[in-house]
Structures are given as C-alpha cells and as structure tokens.
Amino acid sequence: MKRLITLFAAILVTAASFAQAQVERWGCFETSYKASVKSNPFDVKLTATFTNGSEKMVVRGFYDGDDTFVIRFMPGKEGTWTYVTSSNVGALNRKKGSFECTAPSEGNHGPVEIDGLHFKYADGTRYYPVGTTSYDWMHVPGDYPAKTIASLKESGFNKVRSLFFLHNLNIDYPEIYPFLKNADGSWDYEHFDPRYFRYVEDRIMALQGIGVELDLILFHPYDGGRWGFDRMPLEANMRYLSYITARYAAFRNIWWSMANEFGGLRQVPYDYWVDMTKQVVDGDPYGHPVSIHGYTAIYYDYTNPLFTHTSIQDHRPVMEPGYAYTIRNIYKKPVIFDEVCYEGNNGARWGILSGEEMLYRMYNGILSGCYVTHAECFNSGPSDDFTNYLAFGGDFHGECWKRINFLRHSVLDDLPNPLALSDSSWDPITSTAGTGYYLVYLGKQILNNWTFNLPAKNNFFQPIKEGDKFQVEIIDTWNMTVTPVRGTFEAVHSGDRYRFNDKNNRSIQLPDRPYLLLRIKAVTE
C-alpha cells in the first residue's frame, strides 16, 4: 500500500521561507529563516517575542530541515503584531517583522480553554467535548486519513484521540519516522525527521478545518518492540516533547495527552510523568489542555495542577446514572472519561458494547457534568481488520456514532449552562443546566409514565419554588426525537421536603422505550 503523504498538503504550506502578512485571530502565523549551522540545528536556540499593544508573548522556533528555521505563533488578539527573534545563531537573531491579525473566520472560536469544571473556546463559545478515538488513522496508508476526516465530520464528533507515534498494527508503514537513523540503523534521537511531523501537521489542520480538536497522544505502549518509541531514553523523551510543543502549540485545536495506558511504558517511572508533563506545559505558551491516560481503573494523580482535566480509563463510574458525579466532586476540574469500553464485536470484554450501551454510558457521564469519549472496534475478520475505527479510522461501522450529532446539537447546544446534578449524591438522574432547566435521565428504566417530580435543590442555581411552571419534552436519545408534552406543570412542595411535585400530581405518559431523557424548562409567562 502507498500512502498519500500530500493528501492535505494544500491546507498548510510548510517550510517555505516566507511570512504571512495577514493571519486571522487564533490562526497560525508562520515565518521562516534560512541558516546553515555547523552544530546540530535541532539544538539551535531560537525564540521570538510577539507584541501587540500590552500583549506580549515569547514563542520558541524549531528547525524544519533544509537549513530552514520556523517560528509559529497563534495570535490571540486582533491588530498589528510585531516580532523580533532571539537566537544563538547570528543569522537568526534580531530578525524583525510584523503582521496583521484579522477577525476570526466563521467556525474559528479559538483554542479550547478550561472553564472551572468545563471547557470553553477562547471566544467564550461553550465547548462540550464529544470525542471519539482513532489511534492510528493519521499514519495508516491509503485513503484512511481522508475517510476519517469525512467520517468525523459527518458524525459530529468534535474531538479525536490519536497517537503521534506509529501503532504496531499488522500493516506496512511508509519509511518516514519521527527520527532519522544512525549509520548502524538505530534511531538518532537528536535528529528529527521533519517530514513525519509535517504530515501529522497536515492532519491537525484538516481536523481544524472541520472543527475537531486533536487530543494528541504523545506516548503509547502499542509499539511492541517494533520501533522502540515506547522505550526511548528519558532524555530523548524530553527532547521530543520540547520539539513537538515548539512545532504544534500554535495550532489552536491541539490537546496534549501525555500517554495512553501510561503503565505500559515500563521504562518511565511513575513520577517521571510529572517531569515530562512539565516539559510540555513549559513548552506550550498557550496552555492547551493536557492530561494523561492510564489502564482501566488506574488513576494518575489528576489533582496535580499540571493536568488541566482528567483523561480516565474506567467504565465503572458511568455504568449507572449519577456515580460519575463523585469523580467530579473529587477532582474539581473537568472530568473526561476517555475510555469506558468500546462499541464493537472484538470478543474482548472491553470491545463488545452494543451501540445502546455505548450511548448510555456517554449520557451517564455527560448528565453527571462529565464528558465521555466514544470508540468503536468492529472487526469483520482478522483482529487488525481495517473496519476497526479504533485503530484505523476510516468509516464507522457501529450504531452509536449516528446519535452524536443529535447529542451535540439537540441536547448539549440547547443548554444555557454546563450540566451538574441538581442534588448531588441524593438524586442521580436529575441534572440541571441552570435556573428552571432540568434534564431527567431515565436510562434503562422503561416506565409507563413519569410523575412530575423535581428536587428542591438545584446545584448552585436558583432552586425551584412553589408556583413555578414548566414544560416538558420527551427526548428519545436513541431514536433521536424530541416530543413536547402538552400543557404545563406547576410546582408544589411534595410531602417530601426535598422534592416538588405538580400541583395536580400530573404525570406524563412515556413510550415503552429505554434511554429517554426528559427536558424540563420553566415557562416564562
């Protein structure tokens, strides 16, 4: 098989010696300089200070091969930016320039930032991560990368978790690697191969084009001795992290995942992940989201302030409504469950969920004010089958992915605020998105009817009070329908001091189906 290295090359012109005159806000300004150095050019020190009024930012440049040194910068403010370089190489030092930062184009909301227990884009637009996982799609030859971009776009996912280093799948990869080789065939960890970084960049930009964040997995244990990138010397790890952040931090849709199943990288001591994370955080002046991912039920110390959010592998907290909320109560930062088992048919217990179960777990986490990442692994034959989206990307073969657009646009985009449980630890199925806005998730319950009933507590929003009137919609999360219930409901105290009922004790007839969500909004008359 042959890969289409140039697939997305039109999107980002790299390594050309030029500087743009105009860049939109949160776009990627790039300038480059030619210089021939005798020492290892990857060791050249190069920074640039960008200034726009009171805003000032220092970014690192990087060597891109062919005597070319590149500086990238993501401007966070419109107007004129000027810059000046600093380097230990004369030809790269005191270079000056400027560019105009224009308004962001449509769909460009800037990088994702942390907002308490949630996320938002830099322009203030709410960002609810609804992600999937495809480890190796960036590296698989053929049309898999393009197909993956297309399938992500169609499905409506806004985040994908993918490996930077190659996955040891049973396929031929092109002979381009992150590092050059020494004469003896071993890796030369002091010399990167910019072509590898560049084609990953193409994919980052392709994702950016469809509004998808890339949760880039910086290390993983699925190398199996084929290349040894999971067992590099610790200094090589550090050097790589320094280089990749200098190259990629200016892309607004990048996230850093220090590792997948970090425990599998047996040569990296537990505490050393903190040092490596610090290397990433220090190397990224934009503060992109950063986390680390363990084996099932192995929780790294996510309370460490270096980690902006959790990236948990554990399905237990999302097996039923409400339990995930405890994890959020503990961490006090955004909680993402990045692996809760996969929809699929691969026979392993982690890869045999039905589409319904996958979606159920996602809703369980989301309605508890957390976030849950999807994945599917369907094999039509051998285990490295190309129908396995988890490994190869390409086209989805499951059922859950079809419900993602609905989840995002019909449920999440309607929220006035991010979700929380109304009455933590007491009511696991009632979530709030603000004053007079509730979601009651019936999950696997199949009920003939539901009697109007809401908790008196409403997280930190205004609680319900007697006389409040509500309208109810029945959302079928699987069949993707929203059915308004006729008439209104009026809250009165129930016999239970912690709950409110309808004045006439009115109940709602429900379809005989599971996975229903009731959306209950105050009526403002």
Residue ranges binding a second copy (CB under 8 A) = 296-299, 301, 303, 314-317, 320, 322-323, 325-327, 329-330, 332, 349, 424-426, 428, 498
Radius of gyration of the chain (CA): 25
In the bound complex, what is the minimum distance in angstroms from residue 299's beta carbon to a second copy?
Answer: 5
Bridge-based pairing state of the strands 420-421 and 430-434 = antiparallel
In the bound complex, what is the minimum distance in angstroms from residue 325's beta carbon to a second copy?
Answer: 7
Say which residues have a Cβ less than 8 Å from residue 522's Cβ, sequence separation at least 6: 435, 436, 437, 468, 469, 470
The nearer residue to a second copy, 134 or 308, going by C-beta atoms, is: 308
The nearer residue to a second copy, 98 or 329, going by C-beta atoms, is: 329
The nearer residue to a second copy, 214 or 421, going by C-beta atoms, is: 421
CA distances from 334 to 174, 377, 504 (A): 38, 27, 40
Answer yes or no: are the C-beta atoms of 101 and 52 closer than 8 Å: yes
In the bound complex, what is the minimum distance in angstroms from residue 370's beta carbon to a second copy?
Answer: 13
The nearer residue to a second copy, 56 or 332, going by C-beta atoms, is: 332
Cα–Cα distance between 97 and 21 in angstroms, integer?
9
Give 304-309's long-range contacts (Cβ < 8 A, gap of 24+): 304/274, 304/277, 306/274, 306/277, 306/278, 306/281, 307/277, 307/333, 308/114, 308/333, 308/334, 309/114, 309/119, 309/333, 309/334, 309/335, 309/336
The nearer residue to a second copy, 173 or 337, going by C-beta atoms, is: 337
Residue 349 backbone dihedrals phi, psi, to 5 degrees: -65, -20
Cα–Cα distance between 266 and 269 in angstroms, integer?
7
Cα–Cα distance between 307 and 300 in angstroms, integer?
10
In the bound complex, what is the minimum distance in angstroms from residue 336's beta carbon to a second copy?
Answer: 15
In the bound complex, what is the minimum distance in angstroms from residue 159's beta carbon to a second copy?
Answer: 23
Cα–Cα distance between 91 and 107 in angstroms, integer?
38
Which residues in 136-175 are b (16+ Cβ under 10 Å) and which e?
Answer: bbbbbebebbbbbbebbeebbbbbbbbbbbbbbbebebee
Which residues in 312-340 are b (16+ Cβ under 10 Å) and which e?
Answer: bbbbebbeebbbbbebbeebebbbbbbbb
The nearer residue to a second copy, 341 or 485, going by C-beta atoms, is: 341
The nearer residue to a second copy, 237 or 430, going by C-beta atoms, is: 430
In the bound complex, what is the minimum distance in angstroms from residue 331's beta carbon to a second copy?
Answer: 8
The nearer residue to a second copy, 143 or 426, going by C-beta atoms, is: 426
Answer yes or no: are the C-beta atoms of 7 and 58 closer than 8 Å: no
Cα–Cα distance between 507 and 448 in angstroms, integer?
10
In the bound complex, what is the minimum distance in angstroms from residue 496's beta carbon to a second copy?
Answer: 8
Q: Identify which of 376, 322, 345 has the alpha carbon closest to the alpha carbon of residue 152.
A: 376
In the bound complex, what is the minimum distance in angstroms from residue 329's beta carbon to a second copy?
Answer: 5
The nearer residue to a second copy, 51 or 326, going by C-beta atoms, is: 326
The nearer residue to a second copy, 14 or 277, going by C-beta atoms, is: 277
Which residues in 279-304 are b (16+ Cβ under 10 Å) and which e?
Answer: bbbebbbbebbbbbbbeeeebbebee
Q: Identify which of 476, 402, 439, 475 has the alpha carbon closest to the alpha carbon of residue 157.
A: 402
The nearer residue to a second copy, 23 or 353, going by C-beta atoms, is: 353
In the bound complex, what is the minimum distance in angstroms from residue 353's beta carbon to a second copy?
Answer: 13
Cα–Cα distance between 78 and 354 in angstroms, integer?
47
The nearer residue to a second copy, 98 or 424, going by C-beta atoms, is: 424
Residue 489 backbone dihedrals phi, psi, to 5 degrees: -120, 145
Q: Identify which of 355, 349, 347, 339 has the alpha carbon closest to the alpha carbon of residue 390.
A: 339
Structure tokens at 84: 């000046």
The nearer residue to a second copy, 201 or 339, going by C-beta atoms, is: 339
In the bound complex, what is the minimum distance in angstroms from residue 296's beta carbon to a second copy?
Answer: 5
In the bound complex, what is the minimum distance in angstroms from residue 359's beta carbon to a second copy?
Answer: 20
Residue 226 CB neighbour total at 10 angstroms: 13
In the bound complex, what is the minimum distance in angstroms from residue 368's beta carbon to a second copy?
Answer: 10
In the bound complex, what is the minimum distance in angstroms from residue 328's beta carbon to a second copy?
Answer: 10
Place of tokens 């209950």: 520
